[in-house]
Structure 1
Amino acid sequence: MKPVLTLVACLAIGACTTSETSRRASPDIALPPMKTFSSVAVRAPAKSNARIARDFLDLAFTLENGAKMPRFTRFEGPITVRVTGPAPASLSPDLDRLLARLRREASIPISRVAADRDASITIAPVPRSQIQSAAPSAACFVRPNVSSWDEYRARRNDPGTYWNRLTDRSRMTVFLPRDVSPQEVRDCLHEEIAQALGPVNDIYRLSDSIFNDDNFHTVLTGFDMLILRAYYDPALQNGMSEAQVT
């Protein structure tokens, strides 16, 4: 059995131990106050291990614009997250719930740190108008190797911030709008943090995933958690080619 298929099969049955990506903007509609829940009901992926393995490769080695990723990349060691600048009131509790799910369901060692600490992932809430000026079709996005909006603007054309130039992941920033509904903020948190951690692609055929530009799912699904858990399995390493992962 091929390595990634073995890995997916193992994780699926619980036998194992151990350009920017963006969320597409949704139409402006009036929404009621968002309800919050203490836990999320997650269903196991309803597809074959071989298909999940194919999905994993497509998510890990192809960018949203169709360009190929020459190597597999992820964070190594404990991952930290900070929030900088003014943030919506709903962001902090939603972030805490998301990080708890990532620890519990994907076995990722991820935790929050203070805003003045260096962090693996920075959450930078900015006015929606700034995001629209930089990426008109995006509701939010994540960029490698920057830590603030000013640095993003200064290094926007720097190849060191391009996804397909990465050899590993050490610093990511999620830019999301601070002046939108709580539900839009939560949706951005889920997709962009997941892409900062793992998959760099959105695939229309994935009806059971947040990694689908149709925005059918707005929070991480059981399939998404399985993919993220596979991303951080010890069997995979930074720098592996698609052939090596396959």
Structure 2
Amino acid sequence: MLLALANCDEALTSSVAPQPRPVALAPEPIAYVPPSAASQDLARFYQRVERDLLTRGLLRIDGGGPDAPYDADDLARNFEVIAFYSEYPDHAVTVSSRQTDGQLSRWTGPVRIQAEFAPSVAPAAREQDAAQIEAYAARLARLTDHPISVVNRKANFHVFFAGKDDSAFVVTRLKQLIPNISQALLDLVANPRANIDCFVFASATSTAPHRYVRAVTLIRTELPDLLRQSCIHEEIAQGLGLSNDSPAARPSIFNDDDEFALLTSHDEKLLTMLYDPRLQPGVTVEAARPVVRIIARELMGQQL
């Protein structure tokens, strides 16, 4: 003990600066493997889809405008539908959705997002996607006032970018991350239906079924730039707890009409409401309704 204390005193008076602990290095990136002809065909198909949507005035990136007004009542009504219920299994897959419909589910601990790129994702696309996730995570943290960050290790929210050729890679990684993952989810990941270009599933624990502890998103790398960014915005937001879509929600990405590609002003308010401390995980839609109405009016600047 005295020797240790003496060493401490010596260190405190030394002119040599203490060496910082080594920083954990990010894992080595997966080597790039050019996509197959089938994957390239799928990429051309999605390019045609994106062009068609843009030609029809869809996939807007303006966040909403005078042509898409909404008030506090709209916001409260849309929040109830989008935050208290889950669309399963069409687009967002929430593992516990069948048990928690009608009750609020979200994260209570820090959300640590990590992007993982399968072999067929080109290096330039990896850089672009990683930068978009970094910026989006910072935006989500500001909107929710919740600890949301991008990490290289010990993630609990994994965002996979993978293509038609990468099923084996993704299945292997999911088995490593979630040893008890169901075969149904593995099958969905390995062979997603043609109309599914991205999806997310979030999981809780049996003792706290409304508190998410892990989420996994899969985004097809064959998607062109705007559709891929649209998937980043919607799937991560849904993985945070806005797990449903509503045809009445406008302007919103939580609407399957594809009018808006990126998070809107309306959607930002939904996220702020979701992580308002006055709404706790597990609260029922009926019990939350008066509070939801108050929060919506506060956010819209309308009289209570």
Mean alpha-carbon deviation: is it higher for 71-80 or for 100-109? 100-109
SS in 2 for 1:174: strand
SS at match of 1:28: helix
**How far apart, in 2, do the equivalents of 1:63 and 1:42 lie?**
24
Task: Give the Cα–Cα distance (whole angstroms) in 1 for the partners of residues 88 and 217 of structure 2.
Answer: 19
51, 54, 69: which one aligns with 2:77: 54
| Structure 1 residue 134 displacement after superposition | 2.7
Alignment partner of 1:120 out of 146, 152, 156: 156
Q: Any stretches of 5+ residues in structure 2 without a counterpart?
A: 1-44, 52-60, 90-97, 168-188, 290-304
Aligned to 1:154: none
Per-residue CA deviation, residues 2-61 of structure 1 (Å, 9 max, x unaligned), is xxxxxxxxxxxxxxxxxxxxxxxxx633569xxxxxxx8656883221221111111112
Shift of residue 108, structure 1, vs aligned partner: 3.5
1:143 aligns with 2:201: yes
Higher alpha-carbon deviation: 92-101 or 81-90: 81-90
Structure 2 counterpart of 1:136, which letter?
Answer: A
Q: Choose from 108, 113, 120 the match for 2:146.
A: 108
TM-score (norm 2): 0.57
Separation (CA, whole Å) in 1 of partners of 2:150 and 2:284: 31
Q: Structure 2 CA distance, aligned partners of 1:237 and 1:71? A: 10
- How far apart are residue 203 of structure 1 and its match? 1.1
Aligned-residue Cα RMSD (Å) equals 3.0
- Is the 2:84–2:105 contact (alpha carbons within 8 Å) kept by the matching residues of 1? no
Deviation of 1:177 (Å): 1.1
Flag the 1:132–1:181 CA change in 2: closer, same or farther, 3 A: farther
Structure 2 counterpart of 1:191, one-letter code? E
Partner of 1:177: 220
Structure 1: runs of 5 or more not aligned: 1-26, 33-39, 147-159
Q: State TM-score, norm by structure 1.
A: 0.69
- Which residue is 1:29 aligned to? 47
Distance (whole Å) between structure 2 residues aligned to residue 135 and residue 228 of structure 1: 29
* Mapped partners of 1:106, 1:216: distance in 2: 24
Q: Check the 8 A contact 2:63/2:262 in 1, yes or no.
A: no
Match of 2:129 in 1: 91
Distance 1:245 1:53, change over 3 A: same
Secondary structure, in 3 states, of the residue corresponding to 1:213?
coil
Residues 90-239 of structure 1 mapped to structure 2, 5 A cutoff: 90-114=128-152, 117-128=153-164, 130=167, 133-145=191-203, 166-239=209-282
In the alignment, the residues of structure 2 paired with residue 173 and residue 240 of structure 1 have an alpha-carbon distance, to the nearest angstrom, of 24
Name which of 51, 60, 63 aligns with 2:86.
63
Provide the rounded CA distance (Å) in 2 between the counterparts of 1:203 and 1:132.
28
Contact 2:201 2:217 in 1 (8 A): yes
Amino acid at match of 1:173: V
Q: Which residue of 2 aligns with 1:75?
A: 107
Task: Measure, in 1, the Cα distance between the counterparts of 2:264 and 2:146.
Answer: 15
Q: Is the 8 A contact 1:72 1:242 kept in 2?
A: yes
User: Runs ≥4 in structure 1, deviation > 6 angstroms?
Assistant: none
Change in 2 beyond 3 A, CA 1:225/1:54: same
Deviation at 1:191, TM superposition (A): 0.5
- How far off its partner does 1:96 sit? 1.6
Higher mean C-alpha deviation, range 193-202 or range 119-128: 119-128
What letter matches 1:58 in structure 2? V
Q: CA deviation at 1:234?
A: 0.7
Return the alpha-carbon distance in structure 1 between the equivalents of residues 221 and 286 of structure 2. 41
2:117 alignment partner, SS class: coil
Q: Judging by fraction of residues, say which structure has more helix.
A: 2
Q: Percent identity?
A: 26
State whether residues 60 and 69 of structure 1, in contact with CA within 8 Å, keep that contact through their aligned partners in structure 2: no
In the aligned structure 2, how far is the partner of 1:236 from the partner of 1:142?
23
Cα distance change of structure 1 residues 113 and 244 upon mapping to structure 2, 3 Å threshold: same
Size of the aligned set, in residue pairs, is: 196
For residues 109 and 220 of structure 1, the distance between their equivalents in structure 2, rounded to whole angstroms, comes to 19
Displacement of 1:245 in angstroms is 1.0
